[in-house]
Amino acid sequence: MSRYLRPTARLAATARASAIRPTTTSSFLYKAAAVPSLQKRTYADAAGVKEYTVRDALNEALAEELELNPKVFILGEEVAQYNGAYKVTKGLLDRFGEKRIIDTPITEMGFTGLAVGAALNGLHPVCEFMTFNFAMQAIDHIVNSAAKTLYMSGGIQPCNITFRGPNGFASGVAAQHSQDYSAWYGSIPGLKVVSPWSAEDAKGLLKAAIRDPNPVVVLENELMYGKSFPMSEAAQKDDFVIPFGKAKIERVGKDLTMVTASRCVGQALVAAENLKSKYGVEVEVLNLRSIKPLDIESIVKSVKKTHRLMSIESGFPAFGVGAEILALTMEYAFDYLDAPAQRVTGADVPTPYAAGLEAMSFPTEELIEQYAVRMLRL
Amino acid sequence: MFSRAVQVSRVAPIRAAQRASTASIAARRTVTTNAASAQVDKSSIPESDDEPFQVRLSDESFETYELDPPPYTLEVTKKELKQMYKDMVVVRQMEMAADRLYKEKKIRGFCHLSTGQEAVAVGIEHAITKADDVITSYRCHGFAYMRGGTVRSIIGELLGRREGIAYGKGGSMHMFTKGFFGGNGIVGAQVPVGAGLAFAQKYNDTKNATIVLYGDGASNQGQVFEAFNMAKLWKLPALFGCENNKYGMGTSAARSSALTDYYKRGQYIPGLKVNGMDVLAVKAAVQYGKQWTQEDNGPLVLEYVTYRYGGHSMSDPGTTYRTREEIQRMRSTNDPIAGLKQHILEWGVAAEDELKGIDKNARSYVNEEVEAAEAMAAPESIPKILYEDIYVKGSEPQFIRGRINEENFYFNN
């Protein structure tokens, strides 16, 4: 009985209840097509699967939403004539015209404020940041103008806006261009924050973000734009969206839970595969997809099975996503842990330029593997 | 409404004079803050309340920058003049009620009053329609009222009541209603947001305009200039307007701004400085500005020269950075309400008794509304109300975290 009163049990009970109850997902979100939580190689056999780069998936998501809703428009630096600094918006100007694909001056604070104003007045802007590093100039509008207005107005003034762009470190771009903002935006009430890894993630989450009536921050990763992933037939359709707040089990395991997001998902999968082949241990890899709301339920479920948790992220360690995951795990799943939960994060340094030093600043597949080996006493 | 002939006849010499003045610095007029400087041919005033007649604004009502001045004649009716008077009196009474309630410790936090600046909010509303949009700074009570908020909902909000205009969630600085987008607590942040409202108007092919207000203090924020740039670049129907009340908190315009001609701050955007103590001049300017945007000329930068009688906020007595004499002089000689009153009486628009009646009615109306607001219940201190409206209904996450995990609020429950 006392155990039943623990938050963990209550969480699980809620999960069951909500599974039975008719879904309360509102009409703006089409029901997500069932995404098989299988490993990559199984896709090859499935009918209609195509290879997509993350860049193409994002481009397709934008094109479909622009096609679907005339209120949707894109603005940002170099999104139109230049075809996007990272070519995510390639071809959209030709297809949708300059009314809807708008090059802005290099004034983040101004154009972000402008985009928020357009959203308050009923449009659905997609505000691209060349990178989220530059959005620091505009963060007041994301936090104060976009995230808080609905609440401050007592619910009468919604703000349907999507902020998107590459987040986190890239290769050799040094300190000012190498920051992960997941923890920053993840801490703001009124925002939703997602961080895709695969092409399906990218498409489904971006489309859901544009349809969501709240301000949503989509934290992409430049290093992933060129990576190819299989895209299921369902995900290729224009009604494919991924619901927020649901993590995806990318690899099923029973010995250790790795909770991660964005580029680190791929690293965790490689580490998991190595751990399997070298030591025969089964690691479960959870792709968070959504930073806020965070799917603590899936984390707890997995920990109940594996009894060990490691979070992996590329953000700075202090007060970060990993810190939050560990704290929540401690709060909701303490009794199920056989060892202290651990985190792998970026190092607490302004990112250095030299390649060797840069490599020491962020999680690598080897580091994840070795740390798991020590954690599991293999 | 404005005959082309009137515009042309005034424009040509002024344009020429402007050009000349670039070479030799001619003596320039400055905009008056006399609230009763308009004139009228008394014989033209009709009997009927609804019949229009022409008012001649003072030559010192406007100064322009790269712009032909608005017509100096304004068409009004007796009814409208009386309505303007009533609106200004209600706004002032409401602000005075807020002042009293604050001193009674019934209003919490910040409270910025606009006493002395009523002609700006009232003049603007009389020049636009409900389809136009307005956004302003935290000194927003008068605008919220003029946009359609009731006195009881505004005072109710200040008192933190459930039936307040923002359901007790926003307070003094955050009021919203149809066509009114705040109430922004971050100095200058409403300016690019306002440009965005105008962007949406243009995107939707409406002929509406957005009135964007900010103070002389905010005018130095970088984002104001970023908004100017995009508004001009994309020809947005935005009427940027600096409410120059001479002090950004306690720092006078001259101590904060390298160029105190705020109407010239748009550089490549034409500017119009307006006597912001004269409700008629404000109406004429904004009416002209709206027409300017409707003709697809893009934005304007207006400057409403006005004065705040009170301190910056309730915690500021407003006397350390200016003299009591200065405040007294503005109050006694440039008051917007007294100015319009003088016109109404002199022009025979209404008799003193009728105005006294308006005053009395406004006072009792505000008192009743304040009473009603005070009788409103505060929002219940329950999770359902605390956690509502963080996200749009139906799109909330499964739960929201409370102070401790046992307080987590589940939307499905």
For A78-136, how does the pLDDT look when each residue is reduced to its tens digit (9 = 90+)?
Answer: 999 999 999 999 999 999 999 999 999 999 999 999 999 999 999 999 999 999 999 99
Whether B104 and chain A come into contact, CB under 8 Å, resolves to no
Three-state secondary structure readout of chain B: CCCHHHHHHHHHHHHHHHHHHHHCCCCCCCCCCCCCCCECCHHHCCCCCCCCEEEECCCCCEEEECCCCCCCEEEECHHHHHHHHHHHHHHHHHHHHHHHHHHCCCCCCCCCCCCCCHHHHHHHHCCCCCCCEEECCCCCHHHHHHCCCCHHHHHHHHCCCCCCCCCCCCCCCCCCECCECCCCCCCCCHHHHHHHHHHHHHHCCCCCCEEEEEECCHHHCHHHHHHHHHHHHCCCCEEEEEEECCEECCEEHHHHCCCCCHHHCCCCCCEEEEECCCHHHHHHHHHHHHHHHHCCCCCEEEEEECCCCCCCCCCCCCCCCCCHHHHHHHHHHCCHHHHHHHHHHHCCCCCHHHHHHHHHHHHHHHHHHHHHHHHCCCCCCCHHHHCCCCCCCCCCCCEECCCCHHHCEECCC
Whether B191 and chain A come into contact, CB under 8 Å, resolves to yes
What mean pLDDT do residues A202-230 have?
Answer: 98
Does residue B126 surpass a pLDDT of 60?
yes
Q: How does pLDDT run across B367-396, given as a tens digit for each residue?
A: 999 999 999 999 999 999 999 999 999 999
Would you state the pLDDT for residue A38? 40
Q: How does pLDDT run across A130-168, given as a tens digit for each residue?
A: 999 999 999 999 999 999 999 999 999 999 999 999 999
Would you state the pLDDT for residue B30? 85
* Distance in Å, alpha carbon of B65 to nearest chain A alpha carbon: 24
Q: How far is CA B204 from CA A69, A118, A167, B197, B199, in A?
A: 13, 10, 32, 11, 9
Contacts of A158 in chain B (CB under 8 A): 392
* Distance in Å, alpha carbon of B130 to nearest chain A alpha carbon: 14
- Mutation pick from B158, B395, B409 vs chain A, by most beta carbons of A within 10 Å, is B395
* Distance in Å, alpha carbon of B268 to nearest chain A alpha carbon: 16
Would you state the pLDDT for residue A195? 98
Q: How does pLDDT run across B312-358, given as a tens digit for each residue?
A: 999 999 999 999 999 999 999 999 999 999 999 999 999 999 999 99
Q: Considering only the beta carbons, identify the residue of A111, A153, A245 that sits closest to B397.
A: A245
Would you state the pLDDT for residue B412? 75
Mean pLDDT, all residues of chain A: 91
Would you state the pLDDT for residue A47? 78
Would you state the pLDDT for residue B29? 55
Q: How does pLDDT run across B84-101, given as a tens digit for each residue?
A: 999 999 999 999 999 999
Whether B227 and chain A come into contact, CB under 8 Å, resolves to yes
CB–CB contact B390 A150 (8 Å): yes
Contacts of B226 in chain A (CB under 8 A): 105, 107, 109-111, 113
Q: Considering only the beta carbons, identify the residue of B133, B226, B399 that sits closest to A121.
A: B133
What mean pLDDT do residues B53-71 have?
Answer: 97
Would you state the pLDDT for residue B11? 44
Q: CA-nearest residue of chain A to B131?
A: A121
Would you state the pLDDT for residue A29? 40
Whether B268 and chain A come into contact, CB under 8 Å, resolves to no
Does residue B10 surpass a pLDDT of 70?
no
Would you state the pLDDT for residue A21? 41
Q: CA-nearest residue of chain A to B195?
A: A114
- ipTM for the predicted complex comes to 0.91
Is residue A307 part of the annotated active site? The answer reads no
Q: Of A60, A64, A77, A108, which residue is the catalytic one?
A: A108
Nearest to B262, CA basis, from B202, B306, B296, B294? B306
The H or E element spanning position A252 is none
CB count within 10 Å of CB B77 equals 16
CB–CB contact A214 B392 (8 Å): yes
Q: CA-nearest residue of chain A to B408?
A: A7
Mean pLDDT, all residues of chain B: 93
Q: Considering only the beta carbons, identify the residue of A24, A111, A117 that sits closest to B194.
A: A117
Q: How does pLDDT run across B241-268, given as a tens digit for each residue?
A: 999 999 999 999 999 999 999 999 999 9
Does residue B20 surpass a pLDDT of 80?
no
CB–CB contact B412 A21 (8 Å): yes
Would you state the pLDDT for residue B8? 41
Does residue B299 surpass a pLDDT of 90?
yes
Contacts of B398 in chain A (CB under 8 A): 14, 18, 245, 293, 297
User: Which range (A3-12, A193-202, B32-41) has the least confidence?
Assistant: A3-12
Does residue B213 surpass a pLDDT of 90?
yes
Does residue A348 surpass a pLDDT of 60?
yes
CB–CB contact B227 A113 (8 Å): yes
Would you state the pLDDT for residue A176? 94
Would you state the pLDDT for residue B14? 47
What mean pLDDT do residues A208-232 have?
Answer: 98
Q: Considering only the beta carbons, identify the residue of A18, A107, A140 that sits closest to B189.
A: A140
CB–CB contact A145 B391 (8 Å): no
Residue of higher predicted confidence among A275 and A18: A275
Q: Of A177, A273, A307, A365, which residue is the catalytic one?
A: A177
Is residue A177 part of the annotated active site? The answer reads yes
* Distance in Å, alpha carbon of B197 to nearest chain A alpha carbon: 5
Q: Considering only the beta carbons, identify the residue of B177, B196, B408 that sits closest to A116.
A: B196
* Distance in Å, alpha carbon of A107 to nearest chain B alpha carbon: 6
Whether B200 and chain A come into contact, CB under 8 Å, resolves to yes
What mean pLDDT do residues A44-64 have?
Answer: 91
* Distance in Å, alpha carbon of A9 to nearest chain B alpha carbon: 12
